[in-house]
């Protein structure tokens, strides 16, 4: 017998939720096969079988919370598990007449070629499985263009759209005599269980609001020069580095430079002590279908524009395909979030605890700006928001921090001279 246990996930994660069993009791598994998908606070993890054999028992149901080290399945391993199917096949061959066996073998290829027959557990990414489970979609019915036959999240979304576009079936006449107000109300309400990640996000945001003296201050930046520089250099930049030149690298550079002038914003509170951090791991907030995640750009002060843009693009692709690892999400000394990509003009971002500062970027919008006492021009402007923990950061330091970022972004070439 071999026990399948919940492995060590990360230092800060001690439990997970059984999202989906990929194998069932009595099914044969090879060593290394995925048998269950666990949903943790940050990412989904697929657990493999360490032995070949027959799954004898599943000790947890889908939706159950399981602890690290807990046994969740029993596999009847090695010889007994491998020999059992052979013994059954031999017994069946002896008990079935030769004529029926030959007829069955002759018909077998036709069954295998039948497109309606599919695997019970199609090969699919964790994101695809989760989306299908939440939308009530059978993965076996989803078609994919992946050469390996792997169902992806976009395949599930496309299947749902196609299904929604199909002609609706005629609705049954309502049974007026048996309907009740309660039943009608139930038909108009859908209850969806919160994912573990959404529950964690909710709890942490509430904890930050309750346990910090959070305050937000604002400024605005004229994006004219940074947009002109980007337009002038983006083609050569992409040709040389094989990655597009976006705005996030400029903002990250400016944030690091400003943090060096305002070190308290790169710290955290532990009891009655302030922990000042002499490194710059910048969290970049990324929105996914399952909630906000914050992968960390490590040692941002040592990276050039191309390295930053490459890592940020990699984070976005991983987040989209639910491939972010726990190591991508751990730590961070300061966070940048960009609501502008969704059209947000102004917001007050909530701290990503235990950090004490977060910068909010917003939509670039043409607005009339006074150039001097006699001239007005339409300029591409962006509001910046800095939320901070007022317990250790004063308004003066916060305003100085934002003013420093504004000055650097309005003269983007000055970023080249920042240490």
CA distances (Å), 330 to each of 111, 197, 208, 274, 352, in order? Answer: 49, 15, 18, 20, 12
Joined tokens for residue 145: 């263009």
Structural contact between residues 296 and 324, judged by C-beta atoms closer than 8 angstroms: no
CA 127 to chain centre: 9
Active site residue 362: no
Residue 255 C-beta-side C-alpha neighbours within 13 Å: 30
Active site residue 394: yes
Q: What share of the chain is helix, strand, coil (3-state, %, to 5)?
A: 40, 25, 35
Q: Which of 64, 235, 394, 411 is catalytic?
A: 394
Angle at 224 between CA 221 and CA 225, to 5 degrees: 100
CA distances (Å), 28 to each of 18, 57, 111, 166, 381, in order? Answer: 20, 12, 21, 38, 61
Cα–Cα distance for residue pair 52/185, rounded to 1 Å: 50
Cα–Cα distance for residue pair 291/297, rounded to 1 Å: 19
Cα–Cα distance for residue pair 247/121, rounded to 1 Å: 42
Cα–Cα distance for residue pair 1/4, rounded to 1 Å: 10
CA distances (Å), 125 to each of 152, 163, 318, in order? Answer: 6, 21, 12
Other residues' Cβ atoms within 10 Å of the Cβ of residue 30 = 11
CA distances (Å), 409 to each of 153, 219, 303, in order? Answer: 37, 12, 18
Q: What are phi and psi of 257, to 5 degrees?
A: -60, -40
Structural contact between residues 368 and 377, judged by C-beta atoms closer than 8 angstroms: yes
Cα–Cα distance for residue pair 201/195, rounded to 1 Å: 10
According to DSSP H, which parts of 191-294 are helical?
Answer: 196-211, 224-241, 248-261
Joined tokens for residue 290: 């399952």
Give me the active site residues, please. 390, 394
């Amino acid at each position: 017998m071999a026990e399948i246990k919940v492995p060590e996930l990360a230092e800060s994660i001690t439990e997970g939720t059984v999202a989906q069993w990929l194998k069932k009791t009595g099914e044969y598994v090879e060593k290394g096969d995925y048998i269950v998908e666990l949903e943790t606070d940050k990412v989904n993890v697929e657990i493999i079988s360490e032995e070949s054999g027959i799954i004898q028992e599943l000790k947890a149901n889908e939706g159950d919370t399981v602890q690290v080290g807990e046994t969740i399945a029993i596999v009847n391993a090695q010889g007994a598990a491998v020999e059992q199917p052979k013994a059954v096949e031999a017994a069946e061959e002896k008990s079935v007449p030769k004529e029926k066996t030959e007829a069955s073998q002759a018909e077998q290829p036709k069954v295998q070629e039948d497109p309606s027959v599919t695997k019970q557990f199609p090969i699919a990414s964790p994101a695809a499985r989760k989306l299908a489970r939440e939308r009530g979609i059978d993965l076996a019915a989803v078609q994919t263009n992946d050469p390996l036959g792997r169902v992806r999240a976009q395949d599930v979304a496309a299947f749902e759209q196609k299904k929604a576009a199909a002609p609706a079936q005629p609705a049954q006449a309502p049974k007026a005599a048996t309907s009740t107000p309660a039943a009608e109300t139930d038909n108009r309400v859908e209850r969806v269980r919160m994912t573990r990640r959404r529950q964690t996000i909710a709890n942490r945001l509430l904890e930050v609001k309750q346990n910090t003296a959070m305050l937000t201050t604002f400024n605005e930046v004229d994006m004219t020069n940074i947009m002109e520089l980007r337009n002038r250099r983006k083609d050569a930049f992409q040709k040389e580095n094989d990655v597009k030149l976006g705005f996030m690298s400029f903002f990250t550079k400016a944030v690091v430079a400003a943090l060096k002038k305002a070190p308290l914003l790169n710290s955290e509170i532990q009891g009655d002590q302030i922990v000042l951090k002499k490194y710059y791991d910048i969290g970049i907030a990324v929105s996914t279908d399952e909630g906000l995640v914050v992968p960390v750009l490590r040692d941002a002060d040592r990276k050039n524009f191309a390295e930053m843009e490459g890592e940020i693009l990699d984070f976005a692709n991983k987040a989209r395909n639910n491939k972010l690892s726990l190591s991508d999400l751990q730590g961070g000394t300061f966070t940048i979030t960009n609501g502008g990509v969704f059209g947000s003009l102004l917001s007050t971002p909530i701290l990503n605890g235990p950090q004490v500062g977060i910068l909010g970027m917003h939509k670039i919008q043409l607005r009339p700006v006074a150039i001097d006492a006699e001239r007005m021009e339409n300029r591409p402007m962006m509001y910046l928001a800095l939320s901070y923990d007022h317990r250790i950061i004063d308004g003066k330091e916060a305003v100085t921090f934002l003013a420093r970022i504004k000055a650097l972004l309005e003269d983007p070439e000055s970023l080249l001279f920042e240490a």
